[in-house]
Amino acid sequence: MTLNLAVLATALLQLQLDQLLPETQQLVTEYVVPAVLFVVAFLAVWILGKIALVPLIRRVLDEQGHDPSVKSLAESMTGVVNVVLAFAVAFTVAGFGSVIAAFGVFAGAIALAVGFAAQDILGNFVAGIFILKDKPFEVGDWIEVNDITGRVEDIDLRVSRIRTFDNERITLPNGELADNAVKNPVAYDKLRQKFVFGIGYDDDIEHAKEVILDEADRNPGILDDPATSIRVTELADSYVGLQTRFWIDDPKRSDFVKTRSDFVQSVKERCDAEGIDMPYPHTQLLGGIEVEETHAENGAAPADD
């Protein structure tokens, strides 16, 4: 009797195992193995990207001499691409292709909605990337854009900050800097300046040129090469205009504005000493006024009313 019970129990246990084994195998095949493959593939691609891809991008940017902000942005974007690539490969290896397709459609819809909602921000962001890459100006440069003039204090990915010469800070979206003409007087190692000196019609033009050139030679901030040149450019109502073109080395604003001011002042004082007239516009009224006195016919003065 006991033997029969033992045999029966063993048979029931074997039956339960035979029923559970296919379910367990199916569970392992459908879930455990893909999960392990997903984790292994993700870690393998992510680690490979961290070891190879990110250092490669950093080395390429260092060799090309890009701005630190550009290198930081590129490294961040490379890290994001590395993670997305690791997820895509892991989903593919694990056999979750349908998940990738669904995620791609969802991500596309989200990107489209975000693009419409934040197109100005994205435009400024892209403009900031091109400014940092192309370098139309750098931090410390003096620039002019529209009616704004000042030194660049900071170039961010979305905005740039300019300090005016009245010590005011102006924050400009990078899109505005990218869409408008930006004047950078200090982009090169030399800067040419122009100034028109007006002399009288009765003055000797050659003598005035000699005075101006002599004062340019005396000014230490004005270069000898290229040489200063003078051209008669105006025959105005009250003066003859002598346009003087002179060159300044290392054109920082604090230097070349002072050089220009000193040069103009020295020319004015020298012309006064040499007797060269520097007239200013004036108006002269010519003519007379007639006063007609009317008398009564009888010769008597008119009586008051």
C-alpha pair distances (Å), 180 with each of 144, 186, 191, 246: 10, 18, 22, 28
Predicted local confidence at residue 287, as pLDDT: 60
Torsion of CA 116, 120, 126, 127, to 10 degrees: 150
Residue 152 — φ and ψ, nearest 5°?
-75, 120
* Domains along the chain with CATH numbers: 2-117 (no CATH), 136-183 (2.30.30.60), 190-274 (3.30.70.100)
Q: What's this model's pTM, rounded to 2 decimal places? A: 0.54
Predicted local confidence at residue 3, as pLDDT: 44
Predicted local confidence at residue 206, as pLDDT: 94
Predicted local confidence at residue 190, as pLDDT: 86
CA atoms within 13 A on the CB side of 286: 0
Predicted local confidence at residue 203, as pLDDT: 92
Spell out the per-residue pLDDT of the chain, length 305, in tens. Answer: 544 555 455 555 555 545 544 555 555 556 666 777 778 888 888 888 888 877 887 787 777 666 666 666 677 777 777 787 887 777 777 766 555 555 565 566 666 655 555 566 777 777 887 787 778 888 888 888 888 888 888 888 788 899 988 888 999 888 888 888 888 888 888 889 999 999 999 999 999 999 999 999 999 889 998 999 999 999 988 899 999 999 988 776 557 788 889 999 999 999 999 899 988 765 555 665 666 665 555 555 554 54
Structure-token match 């991500």, residue found: 107
Predicted local confidence at residue 281, as pLDDT: 65
C-alpha pair distances (Å), 288 with each of 226, 285, 291: 55, 10, 10
Residue (of 215, 224, 221) closest to 251 by Cα position = 221
Structure-token match 């139309």, residue found: 136
Predicted local confidence at residue 44, as pLDDT: 85
Predicted local confidence at residue 196, as pLDDT: 94
